[in-house]
Structure formats: structure tokens, C-alpha cells
Amino acid sequence: MIYSFMCDYSEGAHPVVLKAVADECGKQHGNYGIDECCDKAAALIKNSIHRSDADVHFLPGGTAVNLTVIAHALRPFEAVIAAKTGHIAVHETGAIEASGHKVVTVEGTDGKLTPKEVEDAVLFHTDEHMVRPAMVYISNSTELGTIYTKSELTALRKCCDEHGLLLMLDGARLFCALASVENDLSLADIAALTDCFYIGGTKNGALFGEALVILNDNLKTAFRFSIKQRGHLTAKGFLLGAQFEALFTDMLGLDIARHENKCAAEIANTLKDLDVPFFAPAQTNQLFPILPDVIAEKLGEDFELSIWKKYDASHSVVRLVTSWSTPQWAVDALNEKLTKLCK
């Protein structure tokens, strides 16, 4: 195996992030996220969104954030609306349902939700014999590597306001979305348009950790109780703080994401040149080319990748992901192999 393009969490931390962790290891800190490292990281994040009123919490992983927020925010009979490709809908082993809540799924387009779909889902639920939708969950970048435009997100916010819905944004790959050449959303825009969102560290050069930003006052109350109850209150929380301080210093996080996106773009360009169609637009560090099965198999001999789904009798949607650590030689080698196979 030459290199793995399976995912963006196969390697540890970016050297700068690792050093930040190492530098704090010998000192004594406060516990459970009440410490100077977390304070500093939270201050940097709040500054970057111009929202001194935001609450910032650091949790160890994405599923942890999703289930904690949703369990915290919803009343027992309330449901969350998600695209059927949404992480909470498929790839969290029923974590949301385990906390008691239905995930109402809608079709989505390229992994994104439209206000029309949200509205239809709300109107379908008419009375107390059905769950009550109370939140919309979106990902940016999505599970298909696509990103929301400012106008799309603004329209979703409007729809949520009209129907009394919370809007939560899963930003496990938010840095990659922000670093996309097609992006027109700032971090401050996202803060202005959502009730809460998180900024992923795990998939962007951290050892582990996500920074949850809560804007809606109703969600702020007693949130640490929920983190603890779900088992996600990291004892040495300063480790999370230190990493996010590093990611937000000189916006290292964005630099890392730009590298991921650039590597992916080079692969996407090769695929486009070879007339390979895409299952979803190539906008960030995840690519979903539709390859003949025979080529996917040959490619898999040299490069680890995942088969996203069967496309038709002889083709599959393949997922290729670049990471903070993807080297140029691996991109080149992949492109060379692709060219050889597809020509």
C-alpha cells in the first residue's frame, strides 16, 4: 500500500498542535475544561466571530458533540431534521435515538438541506400523535464534501425562524468549508446564522477535540451538566484548550484546511481531465468520483480508499479524502495511477 486516502484522521496532530500539547504537559492546570488554556482558546474563538456573549465548550469528538447538544436542546417528544446522508442519520449507531429523539430525514441535495424540504417535514407533523420537529441539523462541509453558500444558509435560518426551529451546524470539517475557494461564509456569518455550531479539530490536525460554540442563550444554561452526563467532560480539558489555541493562533486551522483542499483539488482536476463524473461537486477535501468498479479495484491495490456506495451495475462512488499530513508525492502518485487507469 502506497498511501491511504481513507479519511482525514489517520495521522496524529500537526506538529504545531502537538507542540502546544507537549508544552502544557508538565504544568498544573484546572480540570474539566476550567483552565487557562480553555479560556485562551475560547477567547480567540469568540474574538474570531465577534461574539463575546458566546459560550465555548471543548468536547473530544464529533458524535459526542452531536448527541450532547441534541439531548440537551430537545424536549423528549421533539425531533431533529437532517439530510438522509447526515452523520447523525446514518453513521452514529443511533446515538440520537439512544438519547430518545427521532431523526426525521429528508432527501437533501449534494448532502445539503433546502428550506422547502425543512418546511415540508415540519408541516407533515401535525399533532401530538407525531413527534414535533424542533431542530435542523446540517453539516458544513457536508458528508459529501459540499459547502453551504451564504445565501443558502441565510434561507435556512429564515425557514427555521418561521417554524420555531433551532439550527445546529456540525462543523467537523468546518475549517475545510471555510477554506474552500468557493466559500463565501465567514465564521462570524455562521455564528450569526446558527444557534450553535462546532469547529472540528480531530479532522483538521488535532489529536482529538471539537470546539462547540453556543449562541442561543436557551442552550447555554447548564450545558456542562449535559457534557458530564454523556461522559464527554474531558478530565484534562486543558489539552483541548491548548490545541484550539494553536489552531486559532494565526489561523493555523485555516492553513491546514487550505492544504487539505489544495491536495484534493489537484486530484479532482486530474479526475475532471479524465472525464470522470462526480457524485457530488468537489469543493473541499472529500472527493466522490464515480469510477468503474474495475478501476476502483485496481486503484485500491495501491491506495486505501472507501467505496461510498454502488452507483450502478458496473460503477461505484469512491470516497477519497486528504488530510493535514497528505504529502505532495502521494497526491502525485495517485494522479499518475488514476491517469494510467482511466486513459
Site for its own copies in 215-274 (CB under 8 A): 222, 224-236, 238-239
| Nearer Cβ to its own copies (53/127) | 127
- Residue from 41, 49, 54, 64 binding its own copies (CB under 8 A): 64
Backbone angles phi, psi at 83, to 5 degrees: -65, 150
Q: Of 97 and 297, which CB lies nearer to its own copies in the complex structure? A: 97
Among 30, 281, 292, 300, binds its own copies (CB under 8 A): 30
Using CB under 8 A, which of the segments 67-75, 109-117, 173-181, 253-261 binds its own copies? 67-75
Q: Does 15 bind its own copies (CB under 8 A)?
A: yes
Binding segment toward its own copies, per CB under 8 A, in 45-53, 66-74, 109-117, 293-301: 66-74
Given 56, 69, 102, 267, the residue binding its own copies (CB under 8 A): 102
Smallest separation (angstroms) from its own copies to the CB of 321: 11
To its own copies, the closest distance from the beta carbon of 177 in angstroms equals 18
Please pick, from the candidates 57, 157, 203, 315, the single residue that binds its own copies as defined by CB under 8 A.
Answer: 203
Give residues with Cβ within 8 angstroms of 26, minimum separation 6: none
CB under 8 A: which stretch of 5-13, 157-165, 267-275, 283-291 binds its own copies? 5-13
User: Taking CB under 8 A as the rule, does residue 61 contact its own copies?
Assistant: yes
Q: Which is nearer to its own copies, 270 or 326 (CB)?
A: 326
Candidate residues 40, 46, 51, 132; the one interacting with its own copies per rule CB under 8 A:
132
Residue 267: phi and psi, rounded to 5, are: -70, -45
Nearer to its own copies, 94 or 277 (CB): 94
Instruction: Considering only the stretches 10-18, 47-55, 154-162, 286-294, report the one whose residues sit in contact with its own copies under the rule CB under 8 A.
Output: 10-18
- Among candidate residues 251, 255, 257, 243, the one with its CA nearest the CA of residue 40: 243
Per-residue mark of binding to its own copies, 280-309 (x: CB under 8 A): ------------------------------
Does residue number 103 form part of the binding site for its own copies (CB under 8 A)? yes
Closer to its own copies by CB, 61 or 281: give it: 61
* Beta carbon of residue 254, minimum distance to its own copies (angstroms, whole number): 20
- Smaller CB separation from its own copies, 148 or 223: 223
How far, in Å, CA of 256 to CA of 187, rounded? 16
Tell me: does residue 6 bind its own copies (CB under 8 A).
yes
Q: Which of 57, 72, 259, 315 binds its own copies (CB under 8 A)?
A: 72
**C-alpha distance from residue 337 to each of 54, 164, 259, 309 (Å):** 48, 51, 21, 22
